[in-house]
C-alpha cells in the first residue's frame, strides 16, 4: 500500500510537563504531511482516551510527536504495538532506556562510551541529613549538575556551584522524578548530533546567551537566547569523534528512526554523552531540522523520511 493511502495520526500534546512543546512539534509535522506532502493525516491529542481516539479515527500509522512522560518512555510505543499500529521512532525498550538517564548512562559505560561521572539519589532515601553524606560519597568535586532521572527539555535541571545550592536543586528535581541524577559538571562546548536511519545527518553547536549558564528550557524555547553554529566550529578530527560518539550512543540503546544526541566537548576535545533524545523537537526551527537543512534535507523531506522509517522491519 502506498503510504499516502494510509490514515496517519500525529500523536501530540499528551500529559507530560513538555505538553506545550509537543503541541508545537505536532502542528509542524501535521502541516508538513497534510499541506505540503498531501498525506491523509489527522491530529490526535494523546490523553487518557488515546486508544479510543486511535480506533475512532481508524489510524494505520502513528507519527509520534510527544515529548516526555508516557509518549517518550515506551508506554505509548507499547500501546501501539499491542494495537498493531506502525509508529515512528524507537521501540519500547530503546525508548524506555533513553528516557531514563540512570539506565542509559549504565549502557554507555558498559560500551565504553564516555559520560560524566555521577551518582543516583532515590526520593525515598532523601532527607536533609543525607546531604552531607552525599557530598562525602560522591567522589567528584563541585560544580555539579542535578537533574530528574526521567524528564527532558532540561526541565528541573540545576547547576550547583557549591553545597549551598544543593538542597534547593534536589527539592526541585524531586518534584519531577522519584530518582535524581547528580553528575560532575563538564564545562565545554554543547554539541547536538542528529541521527536518522543509522547514519549521522550532521551536528550543531549551541551557545546560550551570557544570561544563561547552560542550554536551559528558557534558552531552548525563547527566541534570541541561543546562537546556533552549523556546522560546529571545531577541527575535523574533533567533529568526526563527536559524530562517531553520537552514533555509538544511538546504537548502544538500540534506537531507530531519528534521534538527537546531546554531547559536551570538554578539555582536549574529549567527548561526553549527556543523553539521547528519541523524539527530538520537530518545529521547523528545532535542532534536528536545522541539522537536516544544513545537509540538504528540508523540513517536509525530513518528516517524510522519519515516517518511512516506521515501516521498516522489526525493532
CA atoms of 216 and 153, how far apart (whole Å): 8
153 is catalytic: yes
- On whether both 191 and 270 belong to a single domain, the answer is yes
Q: What is the largest CA-CA distance in the chain?
A: 62
pLDDT of residue 221: 54
* Spatial distance between the Cα atoms of 253 and 278, rounded to a whole number of angstroms: 10
Residue partners of 79: CB distance under 8 A and separation at least 6? 50, 51
Is residue 262 annotated as a catalytic residue, yes or no? Answer: yes
Residues 200 and 251 in one domain: yes
- Residue 47 annotated as catalytic: no
Which range marks the domain in which residue 260 is found? 187-309
Distance between CA atoms of 35 and 29, rounded to whole angstroms? 10
CATH number at residue 131: 3.30.1490.20
- Is residue 105 in a domain? no
Q: Which residue out of 9, 14, 16, 18 is catalytically annotated?
A: 18
Q: Which of 39, 87, 221, 272 is catalytic?
A: 221
Please provide residue 196's backbone torsions phi and psi, each rounded to the nearest 5 degrees: -145, 125
254 domain-assigned: yes
158 and 259 co-located in one domain: no
Question: Catalytic: 275?
Answer: yes
Query: Could you give the C-alpha distances from 293 to 137, 215, 227, 230, in angstroms and in order?
Result: 46, 22, 17, 10
Among 89, 118, 257, 281, which one carries the catalytic annotation?
Answer: 281
Split into its structural domains, the chain has a count of: 3
Q: What would the grid cell of residue 114 be?
A: 564516555
Output the pLDDT for position 28.
96
CATH number at residue 199: 3.30.470.20
Q: Which residue has the cell 549551598?
A: 164
Q: Is residue 293 part of a domain?
A: yes
Amino acid 135: pLDDT: 72
Contact 132, 164 (CB under 8 A): no
Q: In this predicted structure, what is the pLDDT of residue 210?
A: 59
Question: Average pLDDT of each block of 10 consecutive residues along the chain (315 residues)?
Answer: 88 89 95 96 94 97 93 95 97 96 95 94 80 76 91 80 90 91 93 96 86 55 75 93 98 97 93 96 89 95 96 71
Q: Do residue 235 and residue 276 come from a single domain?
A: yes
pLDDT at 59 (0 to 100): 97
Q: Note the pLDDT of residue 220.
A: 56
Residues 298 and 204 in one domain: yes
pTM value is 0.91
pLDDT for the residue 213: 61
Instruction: Give the pLDDT confidence score for residue 246 in this predicted structure.
Output: 98
Amino acid at each position: 500500500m502506498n503510504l499516502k493511502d494510509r490514515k496517519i495520526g500525529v500523536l501530540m500534546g499528551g500529559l507530560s510537563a513538555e505538553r506545550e512543546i509537543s503541541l508545537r512539534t505536532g502542528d509542524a509535522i501535521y502541516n508538513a504531511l497534510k499541506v505540503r506532502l498531501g498525506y491523509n493525516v489527522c491530529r490526535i491529542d494523546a490523553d487518557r482516551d488515546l486508544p479510543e481516539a486511535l480506533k475512532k479515527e481508524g489510524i494505520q500509522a502513528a507519527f509520534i510527536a510527544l515529548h516526555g512522560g508516557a509518549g517518550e518512555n515506551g508506554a505509548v510505543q507499547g500501546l501501539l504495538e499491542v494495537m498493531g499500529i506502525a509508529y515512528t521512532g524507537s521501540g519500547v525498550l530503546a525508548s524506555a532506556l533513553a528516557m531514563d538517564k540512570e539506565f542509559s548512562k549504565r549502557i554507555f559505560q558498559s560500551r565504553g562510551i564516555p559520560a560524566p561521572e555521577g551518582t543516583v539519589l532515590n526520593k525515598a532515601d532523601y532527607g536533609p541529613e543525607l546531604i552531607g553524606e552525599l557530598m562525602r560519597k560522591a567522589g567528584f568535586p563541585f560544580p555539579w549538575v542535578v537533574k530528574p532521572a526521567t524528564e527532558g527539555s532540561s526541565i528541573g535541571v540545576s547547576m550547583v556551584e557549591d553545597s549551598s545550592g544543593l538542597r534547593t536543586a534536589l527539592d526541585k528535581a524531586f518534584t519531577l522524578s522519584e530518582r535524581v541524577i547528580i553528575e560532575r559538571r563538564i564545562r565545554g562546548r554543547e554539541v547536538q548530533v542528529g541521527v536518522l536511519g543509522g547514519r549521522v545527518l550532521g551536528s550543531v553547536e549551541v551557545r546560550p546567551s551570557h544570561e544563561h549558564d547552560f542550554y536551559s528550557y528558557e534558552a531552548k524555547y525563547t527566541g534570541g537566547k541561543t546562537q546556533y553554529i552549523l556546522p560546529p566550529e571545531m577541527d575535523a578530527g574533533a567533529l568526526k569523534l563527536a559524530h562517531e560518539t553520537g552514533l555509538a550512543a544511538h546504537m548502544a540503546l538500540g534506537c531507530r528512526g531519528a534521534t538527537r544526541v546531546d554531547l559536551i566537548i570538554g578539555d582536549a576535545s574529549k567527548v561526553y554523552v549527556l543523553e539521547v533524545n528519541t523524539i527530538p523537537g520537530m518545529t521547523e526551527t528545532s535542532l534536528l531540522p536545522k541539522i537536516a537543512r544544513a545537509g540538504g534535507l528540508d523540513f517536509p523531506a525530513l518528516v517524510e523520511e522519519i515516517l518511512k522509517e516506521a515501516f521498516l522491519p522489526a525493532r
